[in-house]
Amino acid sequence: MSTISVFDMTGKAVSETELSDAVFGIEPNESVMHAMVVNYLANQRQGTQSTLTRTEVRGGGRKPWKQKGTGHARQGSIRAPQWTHGGVALGPKPRSYKYVLNKKVRRLAMKSALSTKVMDNNMIVLDSLNLDGYKTKAIVNMLKALGVDGKALIVTDVADSKVIKSAANIPNVKTAAVNTLNVYDILNYDKFIVVKNAVGVIEEVYA
């Protein structure tokens, strides 16, 4: 078990908490994390791109000229791919890019990403994150107090509308609940700010 400092919203260290080595202290597996990131990005693709084939382009029903005797190359339709405004040969059609990785791979990737944040000292544990209302300034002041300059991911145990809306218009800041956490976001954001209660939930799920 390793220990990490717990801060309040003013940036003051108020206590320490233990982190499970089974979740936050493993040797990161880069190939698994890469596979998980590629999987996440592939699953985000809409796959709606589409081109018209020669059968779908309007016109071209009549043969442009007779087969022989004109001096031209033989042609069957002005909508063939080699013609301007013709159909597209072998073009993209709507498809799904989604695929599923093995459950063990997904768990190992998540634990590797979490361990990476701890190893690089980019994980910050908050004692609590309680807001009186929808106040962006409160989140901004908290980030300044914690010394966060770059991109930050704020993780709570459950979805909190006050936190979500207060941080929504802050550049390079994203909020997430434990059940929506993914490897891509953990690695994409510089600082991993997690509420103490959420740490327990993460350990309970992935230990």
For the chain, the domain total comes to 2
Q: Residue 97 above 80 pLDDT?
A: yes
Domain that holds residue 133: 2-45+102-206
Measured over the CA atoms of residue 164, residue 168, residue 170 and residue 171, the dihedral's sign is: positive
39 with 54, same domain: the answer is no
111 and 92 part of one domain? no
Final residue of a structural domain among 34, 63, 96: 96
CA distances from 105 to 24, 26, 39, 60, 184 (A): 16, 14, 11, 52, 14
pLDDT at 45: 96
Which of 96, 131, 156 delimits the end of a domain? 96
Q: What is the pLDDT of residue 133?
A: 86
36 pLDDT higher than 90:
yes
The pLDDT of residue 59 is 92
pLDDT at 207: 78
* Claim to verify: residue 130 and residue 201 sit in the same structural domain: yes
Last residue of a domain, one of 96, 129, 164: 96
In CATH, what number is assigned to the domain containing residue 13? 3.40.1370.10
Residues 30 and 85 in one domain: no
Q: Is the pLDDT of residue 132 over 80?
A: yes
Both 24 and 108 in a single domain? yes
pLDDT for 27 equals 93
Give the whole-angstrom CA distance, residue 25 versus residue 82.
Answer: 59
Residue whose entry in the numeric block shows the structure tokens 């807001």: 131
**166 shares a domain with 145:** yes
Question: Rounded to whole angstroms, how far apart are CA atoms 63 and 60?
Answer: 7
**Under 8 Å CB-to-CB from 100, ≥6 apart: which residues?**
39
119 confidence band (pLDDT: 50, 70, 90) = very high
For the cut 80, the answer to whether the pLDDT of residue 1 exceeds it is no
- Predicted local confidence at residue 171, as pLDDT: 93
Token pair belonging to 89: 């040969």
Is the pLDDT reported for residue 131 higher than 90?
Answer: no
Whether this model's pTM surpasses 0.85: no
**Could you tell me what percent of the chain has a pLDDT over 90?**
83
